[in-house]
Chains A and B, each alone.
Chain A
Amino acid sequence: MNQLQNFTKGFIKENPVFVLLLGMCPTLGVTSSAINGLGMGLATTFVLVMANLVVSLIKNVIPSKVRIPSFIVIIAAFVTVVELTMQAYLPSLFESLGLFIPLIVVNCVVLGRAEAFASKNTIVSSIIDGLGMGLGFSFALTLLGAAREFLGSGKIFDTIIFPEDYGMLLFVLAPGAFIVLGYLIALINRLNKA
C-alpha cells in the first residue's frame, strides 16, 4: 500500500465512522450541528496523529503485556493537552464540546489505530494513517452534523436555509442521530460497492 492510499483510505474505503463503525459515542453525541462535528473531528485528528506518532516511536520498548495501558496513558495525556489548550484559547468552542473532549480518551478510533496500525508500522506511515483517519472522522462528523442541523433547524454552519420553525426537531435530538447515521452508512456502503 503506498502512502497516498494510506492517507485516502480513511475518507471512504475505511472511514472510521461509516465503515469501521468506531468511536460511535462522540459521533452520536456531538453532531447536533455541523460546527460541533467539525470541531470534535479536528480535536480527534490532533490526538490521533500525536498518539500514532508516539506509539510508533516507542512500540519496541513497550512490553506487549502492558501496551494497552501505556497507549491509554499516552492518549489521555494528549487529550488533556487539547482540553487545556482549547479552554484557554477557544473558549466558545470549548463551551459546546467541553463535555465530550475527555471522551476522546476512550474513543475506539484512537486506541484502535494505535493498536492496529501504529504499533506495527513505521513512524511516517503512522502519522499519515492518523491524519487520514482523523480527517475521515472529521469529514464524517461534519457531514452528519450538517445533515442533522439542516433537517432539524434549517441551518448549515449557522447559515439559515429555511426558517427554524419548520425544522424537524427530532433530528437535533438523539434519535435523529441514529436515523441520519443509518442512512449515511447505507449510502457510503452503496458507494463502496459501486
Chain B
Amino acid sequence: MAQKESTFLNMTLTLFVVTFVAATVLGFVHDLTKADIALAKQKAQQKAIESVLPAFDTLGESYKMLPEDGADSLEFFPAYDASQQLVGVAVKTYTKSGFSGLISIMAGFSPDGIITGYEVLEHKETPGLGSKMNAWFKDQSKPGQNIIGKNPGTSKFEVKKDGGDVDAITASTITSRAFLEAVVRAYQTYQSAQEQPAISNNPTNEGGQS
C-alpha cells in the first residue's frame, strides 16, 4: 500500500485523528489510575506520619497553617491515643533553601515540643552527600548530629559552623542548614498553632490559607 500523500487535508486529518485517539486513551488511563495514585500518595503520607510519631490510636483531622516566614502553609496531623489524649503532632514542613531547591520533611513533635522523629519526603539533594540527611540527623549513636529527643526551643537548631548545636552532614553544610531551617519552621509554626487554639482545633481541612 502506498503512503498517503502529504496534502493539506490529509495532514490535518491525520494529526487530528492521532491527537484525538491519544487524548482519549490518556483520559481513560487517567480515570483508571486516579484512585490508585491518590491511595498510594496517602499511604506514603500515612507511613511517614506513623514513623515520626510514637504509637498512637487515631489520627485527628489535619489542618493547615501559614508559617511566619514562608509563603506556603504547613500541614499538621494531630495524633491521639485511645483515651483521646494528644500524643504528638506530625508536621509536614518544607524549605526552599536546599542545595537543589525544595526539601519536604515530615517532622513529629510531642505535645511539649520535643522532636519524636522525622522523615524526608521529597528532595533533590546530591546523592551520596546531602541525600544522607534522612539517616544523618537520627543516628542515636552520634549525639552531636542526632536531633531526635531534642527540643528546638531549648537547644540551638543550627549547624555548628553557624554557632548552633548540631553537627552538619560532612561536606553538605547547605543541605544541613536547609534541613534544620525546615524543622525549626515546623516547630515555630507548631508553637504558634498551640497558642491559637481556635485555629488548631478547627476541624476543617483548610484551616489556613495555602
Q: Which of B14, B43, B44, B126 contacts A61 (CB 8 A)?
A: B14
B36 and A88 contacting across the interface, CB-CB below 8 Å: yes
With CB as the reference atom, state the residue of chain B lying closest to A96: B127
Question: B127 near A74 (CB under 8 angstroms)?
Answer: no
Q: A76 touching B22 by the CB < 8 A rule?
A: yes
Q: Are A81 and B29 neighbours in the complex by a CB distance under 8 Å?
A: yes
- Are B126 and A173 in contact, with the CB atoms below 8 A? yes
Contact string against A for B residues 16-46, beta-carbon threshold 8 Å, 1 for contact and 0 otherwise? 0011001001100110010011011101100
Count contacts on B: residues with CB < 8 A to the other chain: 30
Chain A residues in 8 Å Cβ range of B33: 84-85, 87-88
**Count, A-B residue pairs, CB within 8 A:** 77
The majority secondary structure among interface residues of chain B is: helix
Of the listed stretches A3-11, A62-70, A123-131, A134-142, chain B binds A62-70
Collect the chain B residues with CB atoms within 8 Å of residue A74's CB.
18, 22
Please tell me if the beta carbons of A173 and B128 are within 8 angstroms of each other in the complex.
yes
**Contact across chains for A77 and B25 when beta carbons are under 8 A apart:** yes
The interface of chain B, by Cβ under 8 A from chain A, is 1-7, 10-11, 14-15, 18-19, 22, 25-26, 29-30, 33, 36-37, 39-41, 43-44, 126-129
Are A63 and B10 in touch, CB under 8 angstroms? yes
Q: What is the minimal beta-carbon distance from B91 to any residue of chain A, in angstroms?
A: 21
Could you tell me if A60 and B11 are in contact, using CB atoms closer than 8 angstroms? Answer: no
A contact residues around B127 at 8 Å (CB):
32, 172-173
- Does B29 lie within 8 Å of A66, measured CB to CB? no
Residue of A at shortest CB range from B11? A66
> CA separation between A61 and B17, bound complex, in Å?
11
Can you name the residue of chain A whose Cβ is closest to the Cβ of B23? A77
